[in-house]
Amino acid sequence: MDAGCQSISESRRSINEMRVFDPCHLPASFDPEVSPELRAEYVRNETRRQFFGKMVRGLGGAAFATLLGDSLLGSIARADEPKPVPPDWRLPNFAPKAKRAIYLCMAGAPSQLDMWDYKPSLANRFNQDLPESVRGGQLLTGMTAGQARFPLAPSIYKFAQYGKSGTWVSELLPHTAKVVDDIAVVKSMWTEAINHDPAITFLLTGNIVAGKPSIGSWIAYGLGRMNENLPTFVVLTSKYYGNAQALFSRLWGSGFLPASYSGVEFRSVGDPVLYLRDPAGLDREARRAMLDGIEKLNQMTYEEVGDPETHARIEQYEMAFRMQASVPELIDFSKESAETLELYGPDAKIPGTFTYNCLLARRMAERGVRFVQIFHRGWDQHDHLPKELVPQCKAVDQACYALITDLKRRGLLDDTLVFWGGEFGRTVYCQGELTASNYGRDHHPKCYTVWLAGGGVKPGIVYGETDDFGYNIVKDPVHVRDLNATILNSLGIDHEKLTYRFQGLDQKLTGVIPAKVVDGLLA
């Protein structure tokens, strides 16, 4: 942000009531790498917040956050419309472990058998039939046509134990293996959906049929924002190698929640936020003059008509102007230390890679973005699994390690929940050609592996077990609903109490079928 424009925008604050800013209110997550400009911006925001506080927007606590979430970047509501006020509860429901979450969504279903769920006894069963007793009449996708039998395909990757926890990890994840003592590996995830679209919709919205709010929207609705100039819920999509299904903007949509709780997609091509950049040839001062004119004219309109929405319009344009400064600062990695960049590896400099997105997510976490969702697709290895899985793992492995490590050394891991996982698992039996070096795996909803870390999660554990074939759960099953209840729990939300009245019902992320918080995963 250039100095000239700052002074103009600063002067504009005179319309606000300036108050003494208390630096103690800087969030703990502001680390030394945060630029003085950003700090100054934060101070200004705090001032504005106080100004708005006078305008019935509360200070502190969840009500405050929720209202800001509703009223600012997400949306500037008509002043005359009732705000969607949470019912008779206040969030958080109890002391949160995590204030924010980073959700690494491995869309397409990574093969748990080749990455996490070590099954040494399968080695001797290469190409043997999966016993019918194990399969138990399990529904198949129908894609496993072209084969009358279900030959076992043991993983060709070597596994070893790592860390104090001795967690088994395959050679595909050499970096992630270094942080196993910081994460909780769940081998007993399961879901009901067997196809991608319903399954990922289920994972991210708690319902197989599209149209319900996404988990990020629920959290944005429940907890509100921590930064006025950045969205509360950001979505990042990443480059991938393998077979990838389509994504849908409704996967981060707000469903029946107000649209302002939708995820905002940051793009790796062109402007990170659509049309963020002013056209070439227009400098910030001219832009400022333009907006000043618009505001004066809008103020006249307000005097003429008296519609409070005109004031919302004025604020909308101001926020856009501020965002034009805050987003470029956010994506400017130039002040990241060499050591940090090295931690993440060379991909950190390539926009659109999963690694770049992880570093960006850390920066967003620092700046108070509540929920960052990074999609990495291409995990759908129906055939030629080895060929595709190696580069897929390579694309996320070091980044996951670096993200955990980076958050931890900055003291952010304690109050940031990190989730890694996909919509279901993959079958132990082969789909397509089976040779000593080649195989594929079909969809498998009955068990799969995910991991969680940070904010309230018990580090260095493995939760749940599967049978010798990696086909059925034998201990501590965790359903998608339970996972969502647990994620909400670590953010201080009782999943039974985070509700929104729609079609006469108090709707919940976890739906009507009972869900339980997985206590065994929580510290």
Partner 1 sequence: MLLLGVAVILGFSSRASSEQKSKQKPTQTASDRGSEKLSFNETIQPILSENCYACHGPDPGARKAGMRLDRGDFPFLPHEKDGEKSGPAIVRGEPDKSPLIWKIEAKNPKDRMPPPEAHKTLSAEQISLLRRWIKEGAVYEEHWAFIAPTKVALPEVKEKQWVRNAIDSFILARIEKEGLNHSHEADRRTLIRRVTYDLTGLPPKPADVDSFLADSSPDAYEKAVDRLLASAHYGEHRAHYWLDYARFGDTTGLHQDNYRSVWPYRDYVIRAYNLNKPFDQFVVEQLAGDLLPAENVDQLVATAFNRIHITTNEGGAIPEELQFNLVKDRVETFSTVFLGMTMGCAVCHDHKFDPITQKDFYQMSAFFNNTADKFADDAIAAPAPFVTVPVAEKLAAYNAILSERAGVERKLIARQNLVDENIRAWITSGGPNELHRVSPEKLVAWFPLDEGKGTEVHNRAANASPESYQIAGVAPHWDEKTKFWPSVRFSTGTFLASPSVGDFESTDSFTVAGWFQARQLPQNGGVSETGALLSRMRIDGEKRNGWDMYWDGATSYDKEKKPQKVDGDTGTIDVHLANAGPKNEVLVRTKQRLGRADWYHIAFTYDGSGHASGIHIYVDGKPQELEVVTDALTGSIRTDAPLQFGKRTDAEPLREARYQDIRVYARALDAAEVDALANEDVVKGILGRAPERWSEDERKAVEDLYRLRFDREAGTLRTQLAEFDAKLKELETGGTPSLISRERATLPRSHTLDRGVYSALKERVAPDVPQVLPPLPNGVRRDRLALAQWLVSPGNPLLARVTVNRMWQELFGTGIVETAGDFGVVGARPANRRLLDWLATDFRESGWDVKRMYKLLVMSATYRQSTHVTPELLEKDPQNRLLARGPRYRMDAEMIRDTALAAGGILSERMGGPSSKPYQPAGIWEAVNASFVSDRYVQDHGDGVYRRSLYTYWKRTAPPPLLETFNAPDRSACLVRRERTNTPLQALIVLNSPDFLEAARHLAEHAWHEAGPEEDARLQFMAARVLSRPLQNRELDVFHNALSVFRAHIQTEDGARTLVTVGDSPVDATIPPQELAQWTLVASQFLNLDEALTK
The token duo for 148 is 């009358």
Applying CB under 8 A, does 23 fall inside the site for partner 1? no
Contacts of 362 by beta carbon, 8 Å cutoff, 6+ apart: 102, 403, 406, 407, 410, 412
To partner 1, the closest distance from the beta carbon of 157 in angstroms equals 23
To partner 1, the closest distance from the beta carbon of 240 in angstroms equals 7
Dihedral in degrees, nearest 10, Cα atoms 245, 246, 252, 254: -120
To partner 1, the closest distance from the beta carbon of 249 in angstroms equals 6
Applying CB under 8 A, does 6 fall inside the site for partner 1? no
To partner 1, the closest distance from the beta carbon of 464 in angstroms equals 25
Applying CB under 8 A, does 433 fall inside the site for partner 1? no
Candidates 95, 209, 338, 436; binder of partner 1 (CB under 8 A) is 209
3-state secondary structure of 177: helix
Residue whose CB is less far from partner 1, 328 or 520: 328
- Nearest CA to 446 among 9, 139, 6? 139
Residues of this chain, 273-302, that bind partner 1 according to CB under 8 A:
273-283, 285-286, 289-290, 292-294, 296-298, 300-302
Q: Taking a C-beta distance cutoff of 8 angstroms, is the pair 415, 226 a contact?
A: no
Candidates 370, 376, 377, 426; binder of partner 1 (CB under 8 A) is 377
To partner 1, the closest distance from the beta carbon of 389 in angstroms equals 15
Q: Which range in 35-43, 110-118, 214-222, 306-314 contacts partner 1 by CB under 8 A?
A: 306-314
Contacts of 112 by beta carbon, 8 Å cutoff, 6+ apart: 187, 425, 426, 447, 448, 449, 470
User: How many residues of this chain bind partner 1 (CB under 8 A)?
Assistant: 117
Burial 179-192 (b: 16+ CB within 10 A, else e): bbebbbbbbbbbbe
Cis preceding-peptide flag for 92 (omega within 30 of 0) = yes
Beta bridge partners of 235: 265, 373
Candidates 34, 73, 215, 234; binder of partner 1 (CB under 8 A) is 73
DSSP 40: H
CA atoms of 119 and 156, how far apart (whole Å): 11
Residue whose CB is less far from partner 1, 361 or 461: 361
Residues of this chain, 385-404, that bind partner 1 according to CB under 8 A:
none
To partner 1, the closest distance from the beta carbon of 278 in angstroms equals 6
Residue whose CB is less far from partner 1, 114 or 228: 228
Applying CB under 8 A, does 148 fall inside the site for partner 1? yes
Query: Which residue in this structure is represented by tokens 């009449």?
Result: 137
CA atoms of 176 and 4, how far apart (whole Å): 45
Residues of this chain, 51-70, that bind partner 1 according to CB under 8 A:
53-54, 56-61, 63-64, 67
Q: Which range in 80-88, 332-340, 398-406, 479-487 contacts partner 1 by CB under 8 A?
A: 80-88
Applying CB under 8 A, does 350 fall inside the site for partner 1? no
To partner 1, the closest distance from the beta carbon of 308 in angstroms equals 7
- Nearest CA to 49 among 29, 30, 27, 71? 71
Applying CB under 8 A, does 422 fall inside the site for partner 1? no
